[in-house]
Amino acid sequence: MVGVSGGIGSGKTTVTDMFAEYGIDVIDADVIARQVVEPGSLALNAIVEKFGPSIIQDDGHLNRQTLRATVFSDAALKTWLNNLLHPLIRVQMQEQTLAAGSSYCLLSVPLLVENNLTTLVNRVLIVDVSEVTQIERSVLRDKSNAEQIRAIMRAQASRAERLACADDVVNNEGSVRELRPQVEKLHAMYLRLSQGST
Ligand code: ADP
C-alpha cells in the first residue's frame, strides 16, 4: 500500500485520479472523513449533542466550516472531536484497504506525516509544489483568500518535513500534462514491487 500526501492544493486528488485510471483503488481519508459524519451516523448525533443543532445545515449535513472554526481556537473541543472521529476514520480506512482488489492501492491522507500514519503504509508518495503555487491553486479552487490558505498551511507540516518522509516524489509545479509520465513510471514500479509483497 502506498500512502499519498501533500499539502493543501498540492495536487493529491489530481494525481490519485490518474492512478485510478489504471484501475488502482484509491482510499481517500478526506472522503471517509465526510462519510463518518453523514446524516443519521452515530458520530453526527454525538456532535449535535455536544455543539447543539446549529452545527447542522438546512440540508441535514454537518456544517464542517462552522465546526472547524469552533474547534480551531479550543484545544479541548478539538481533542474531543479528534477522539471521536479518528478511530472511526481509521477503521473505515482499514476496511476499505482490506476490500481493495487492485495489485496495490493508494491511501490518500492529507495529514499522513502530521498524524504519524506513515507506518500504516509500505511507501510514502509526496506530491510536491512550491508554497506560492500551493496558495495560488488553493485560492482558485476554494474561492478563499491567501490568508485563509496560509493559516491552514501553518497547521500542516512544512514542505521540507513532508519531503523528509518521502520514498517517492511527484513534482506538480508544472502542467497537469507533466504529471502523466511521472505517474506512469511510479505505477510501473509499484506493480513490480507489489509482485514481491502487498
Ligand atoms: P489537493 O487534493 O492536494 O488539495 P487538488 O488535486 O485538488 O489538490 O489540486 C488543487 C487545485 O489545483 C485543483 O483545482 C486542481 O485542478 C488544480 N491543479 C492541480 N494540479 C495542477 C497543475 N499541474 N496545474 C494547474 N492546476 C492544477
At 9-29, the pLDDT tens digits run 999 999 999 999 999 999 999
At 146-192, the pLDDT tens digits run 998 999 899 899 999 999 999 999 999 999 999 999 999 999 999 99
Q: What is the pLDDT of residue 89?
A: 93
> Cα(41) to centroid of ligand 1, in Å?
31
CB of 14 closer than 8 Å to CB of 120: no
The CATH number of the domain holding residue 173 is 3.40.50.300
| Domain end call among 69, 101, 133 | 101
CA-closest residue to ligand 1 atom 18:
11
- Based on the fold, state whether residues 188 and 143 are members of the same structural domain: yes
CB of 108 closer than 8 Å to CB of 30: yes
Backbone torsions φ then ψ of 52, nearest 5 degrees: 90, 160
| 16 pocket-lining for ligand 1 (C-beta < 6 Å) | no
Q: What is the pLDDT of residue 197?
A: 54
> Cα(108) to centroid of ligand 1, in Å?
14
- Based on the fold, state whether residues 147 and 190 are members of the same structural domain: yes
CA-closest residue to ligand 1 atom 13:
141
| 177 pocket-lining for ligand 1 (C-beta < 6 Å) | no
CA neighbor of 111 nearest in space, from 32, 17, 198:
32
